[in-house]
Chain A
Amino acid sequence: MRTLPRAATGTASATIALIGNPNTGKTTLFNRLTGFNQRVGNYPGVTVERTTGKLKCSPSDRPITIIDLPGTYSLSAGSADEAVVLDALSGRIRNTPTPDAICCVVDAKNLRRNLFLVTQLIELGLPVIVALNMTDLAQAAGIEIDENELAKALGVPVVPVVATRAIGVEELCKALTESTEGDTPPAPVVFPEEVNVHIDRLVTRITRSSDERSIAPPPRAIIAQALLTPGGFHEHRLLLEYGDELAVSLATSRHQLSKIGFRVAEIEADARYAWIGGALARCQTSSKLRDISLTEKADRVLTHPVSGLVILILIMGAVFQSVYAWTAPLIDIIDAAFGELGVYAAGLLPAGALQSLITDGVISGVGAVLVFLPQILVLFLFIAILEDCGYMARAAFLLDRFMRFLGLNGKSFIPLLSSFACAIPGIMAARTIENTRDRLLTVVIAPLMSCSARLPVYMLLIAIFVPNTQLLWGITNTQTIMLLCMYFVGIFTALAVAFVLKRTLLKGESQPFLMEMPTYKWPSPKTVFHRVADRGKQFCIQAGTIIFAMTIVIWALGYYPRPASIAASYEQQRTTLEAEISEGFASLAAAASSDLGILEDSLATDIETLSARFAEFNQQFTDTIEGEGFEEGSEAYVAAVSAYQQRVDELTGSSPLGEYALAHYHLSTSTSAKLNEVDRREAGDYLRQSFLGRIGHFIEPAVSPLGWDWRIGTAAIASFPAREVVIGALGTIFNLGGEQDEGSSTLRSTIVRAETPDGEPLFNLAVALSIMVFFALCCQCGATLATIKRETNTWRWPVFAFVYMTGLAYVMALVTYQVAIRVI
């Protein structure tokens, strides 16, 4: 028997590949064996790329590398993720060593189907160890497996394990370490004699022609695959290598086989399942009569065409409601904390470029984005739970018909659903789709699903501009519904794009639905925790790197140059104002003194002290209004106003100086407002003539039909590398422009105050809608484009995705704004 090219025995290291059917617990086991935390989920297609790690228990002089691979049902690759398995097996993946042994992970509940792959793997000629996983679930289902009998039948070691609870992992470790040393026993003979003759004949042929060209011939099992899977992956590969001569041999062999009554495409399955049937009769018993499992009971409701869909919608609704409602208080706290931090930092640093960089750039930029961490975490909590309990496959099942109507297939559903978390794993998950056109289609529409990075944009604007009205007896509210609508904007656009593309660029028949429905289980807290923590970490890293860098760039562009002429002209205005103020105070004191006949010295300070009390009252009054959230005109509001008025009146009447102090208070508030206004205008002037302002002026005509001013436009452009940047960019730009509150400057309060040059509020519901629609549809994510390039191997598709998405985003935002200003 021929073997795969193996690393010379006795080398200092070894590599073992984990291979098995989808969803048999390969990754869970990989994490156990290596101490990694790779992503695990209870549906087929979670792992689509290889990962390598070091076996924890491997001997120190001989480190063993473990490779985790996507799941596959057989070696006759149909989809891109399965091709990864074959490439890894034959050492065709860069930076990944060729395996010296295979650990085949087998689901003990489904031995028959799993052994199909095991028998194929054994024929490759590498040492194989069978990890009999999920023995806990098999036992619960009343399936008894005699692992010694099974090992005897297969001729390879079998180790029962429960990957989730680390049972049997030590034994497996030991078996794995030993496996790379011993000899490989012969594989069981599964094919009938007549078929073997033909396979052998081909092997001789190919070996001869390989020797002539001095290349290593493929293993016998692969040649058998090529013969028995007409039109398959291996035939294709071998034909590329060995050319027409082989094509003739293959055709002859197939013809002769069919003459003696074989149907070539059925030979392998028939032979293997016959062999497996015999082996199972010896080593597996179902001890009790099969009763209806919990999974089946749950599926009666959950996959029902009516109740299933209703529940699906309810689940989605619940997710949105929680993401919105649970996190709002947390967001307020973090928001306020960053605002305070900004004030504190401003107090610590001397005024100037450094202070501006820290407060306007870093704190308002990065802080504005980090505020949305709670939402990302809550969203991922739900995603992780849904993924690990086994519901994803059911959702795909329920929506298959709908997806097919649009020209997609149920299998596209999981990549699209993953894209709500992030488009990158979503696009990669499209590897499980066998049909190339369907896969491409899924890849180009996946970025339209509202990923978690869009959530901050929606949250920020919805919280400010959509009135919060309770709906459905308080179960939900208008803001949640608005959030849901934004998600639907993306979904509907994606579906429409799919519908069009399927009938134009990517025409063709799609594959019928075929997906295993995994057993439901309780989500594992560890899996859920890691999924949530991973995403949280990624979000913070993103904020700390790309967003940090972009906000600094934007800050620098917006801060420089700083011409002295502006400073001089505003210094002038300020001095004039200050002079006016002190004059005003002096004349007040003089008036009081002459009216009341008191000495001036103490009088001025007394008036000031009293005036400070008025300021205090006003502060208390605004605190109550804001703290309690009284609405203007409401009963409570009116009561608060009159209480305040009464305190003011009392204080005025309490002293002969009252009148003068009140006037002093009014004068000081109005002048400090004037001073602030000067500061604001100065900051605005600086920003307008900064580099950023000049760029902005240039693009303004393009964005003004969307209701945006140049500041929003530049923020949107700056967010090309990652869409969260827009939040940071807005924070920085408006802060530089002096739009922040005098106190703590949260982005929210800044946005509310932002004005156009005519003094109108810059933002309103129509502008907010247009921004949100733009961000729902645009492709502001460099990493997504890079992933599309990697997955499709050409720049054509990322360019296509970027162009069509940006175009759609612009047009839809335009329509949204123009309609909204006419309707609202």
Chain B
Amino acid sequence: MQLTQLTHGQQGVVESITSSESSAKRLADIGFVRGARLQMVRPGDPCIVRIDETCVGLGFGHQKHIYVGGS
């Protein structure tokens, strides 16, 4: 499912990222890669997602390209 569908507190593992190459690269640099575990802290547009100890604010344009599976 898309990252946008995660609800507050729900966790997931990144399955794929379908953004353009440059966006995907940016996301990867900051930790969004296949296999990364994340948790939705504040759903919405933009949302806040936690990866490890970092919270990252993500706009809808990024969220819709990130697909996650259940943990």
Contacts and interface: CB of A to CB of B under 8 A. Distances in A.
B56 A512 contact: no
Interface in A375-433: 393, 396-397, 400-401, 404, 409-410
Interface of B: 21-31, 33-36, 41-42, 44-46, 48, 51-63
29 contacts: A73-B26, A73-B29, A73-B30, A74-B29, A76-B29, A78-B22, A78-B26, A111-B52, A266-B24, A268-B28, A269-B25, A269-B28, A269-B33, A270-B33, A273-B33, A295-B55, A296-B55, A396-B57, A400-B46, A400-B57, A410-B46, A512-B61, A513-B46, A513-B59, A513-B62, A514-B57, A514-B59, A516-B55, A517-B54
Nearest to A393: B57
Contact of A514 (B21, B30, B33): B30
Contact of A512 (B28, B48, B58): B58
B62 A514 contact: yes
A418 to B, nearest CB: 18
Contacts of A113: 30-31, 51-52, 54
Contacts of A295: 55
Nearest to A76: B25
Interface string A499-522: 000000000000111111100000
Nearest to B50: A296
Interface stretch (A208-216, A224-232, A559-567, A631-639): A224-232
A305 B42 CA distance: 10
Contacts of A397: 46, 48, 57
Contacts of B26: 73, 78, 434, 514
A303 interface: yes
A514 B26 CA distance: 9
Given A512-B46, A517-B54, 10 more contacts: A73-B30, A76-B25, A109-B54, A265-B24, A270-B33, A273-B36, A303-B42, A511-B61, A513-B57, A514-B27
Interface residues of A, number: 45
Ranked nearest first, the 5 interchain pairs of A and B with the lowest CB-CB distance are A512-B61, A513-B59, A512-B59, A269-B28, A73-B29
Interface in A642-681: none
- Which of A76, A266, A305 has the most CB atoms of chain B within a 10 A radius of its CB? A266
Contacts of A268: 28
Interface string A695-733: 000000000000000000000000000000000000000
Contacts of A516: 30, 54-57
Contacts of B27: 514
Given A270-B34, A397-B48, A265 B59 contact: no
A273 B34 CA distance: 9
Contact of A265 (B21, B31, B54): B21
Nearest to A265: B21
A757 B36 CA distance: 76
A535 interface: no
Nearest to B28: A269
A116 interface: yes
A515 B56 contact: yes
Contact of A515 (B21, B23, B41, B57): B57
B25 to A, nearest CB: 6
Contacts of B22: 78, 231-232
| Chain B residues touching A, majority SS | mixed
Given A265-B24, A512-B61, A110 B46 contact: no
A112 B53 CA distance: 10
Nearest to B27: A514
Interface string A97-117: 000000000000111110010
A156 B34 CA distance: 28
Contacts of A401: 45-46
A230 B62 CA distance: 19
A299 interface: yes
Contacts of A266: 24, 28, 33-34
Interface string A346-372: 000000000000000000000000000
A304 B47 CA distance: 10
A305 B21 contact: no
Contacts of B53: 109-110, 141, 143
A109 B55 CA distance: 12
Nearest to A434: B26
Interface in A190-245: 229-232
A61 B21 CA distance: 49
B66 to A, nearest CB: 11
A681 B31 CA distance: 74
A143 B52 CA distance: 11
Nearest to A296: B41
B45 to A, nearest CB: 6
B31 A410 contact: no
Contacts of B61: 511-513
B59 A517 contact: no
Contacts of B52: 109-113
Nearest to A300: B42
Given A410-B46, A517-B48, A110 B54 contact: yes
B2 to A, nearest CB: 14
A111 B31 CA distance: 11
A230 B21 contact: yes
B58 to A, nearest CB: 6
Contacts of A277: 35
B29 A400 contact: no
A285 to B, nearest CB: 14
Contact of B59 (A73, A78, A143, A400): A400
Given A296-B41, A299-B41, A299-B42, A517 B25 contact: no
Contacts of A110: 52-54
A400 B61 CA distance: 12
Contacts of A511: 23, 61
Contacts of A265: 21, 24-25
A303 B48 contact: yes
Contacts of B55: 295-296, 299, 516-517
Nearest to A23: B54
Contacts of A514: 26-27, 30, 56-59, 62
- Which of B25, B27, B44, B63 has the most CB atoms of chain A within a 10 A radius of its CB? B25
B34 A517 contact: no
A78 B19 CA distance: 15
A231 B22 CA distance: 8
- Which of B22, B29, B34, B36 has the most CB atoms of chain A within a 10 A radius of its CB? B29
Interface string A255-286: 00000000001101110010001000000000
B8 to A, nearest CB: 10
B60 A512 contact: yes
Interface string A1-17: 00000000000000000
Contacts of A393: 57
B60 to A, nearest CB: 7
A675 B17 CA distance: 84
Interface string A312-329: 000000000000000000
Contact of B31 (A109, A112, A270, A296): A112
Nearest to A397: B57
Contacts of A513: 46, 57-59, 61-62
Nearest to A513: B59
A110 B51 CA distance: 9
B50 to A, nearest CB: 8
A409 B36 CA distance: 26
A693 to B, nearest CB: 57
A73 B57 CA distance: 15
A409 B58 CA distance: 12
Contacts of B56: 514-517
Contacts of B31: 112-113, 116
A304 B42 CA distance: 8
Contacts of A434: 26
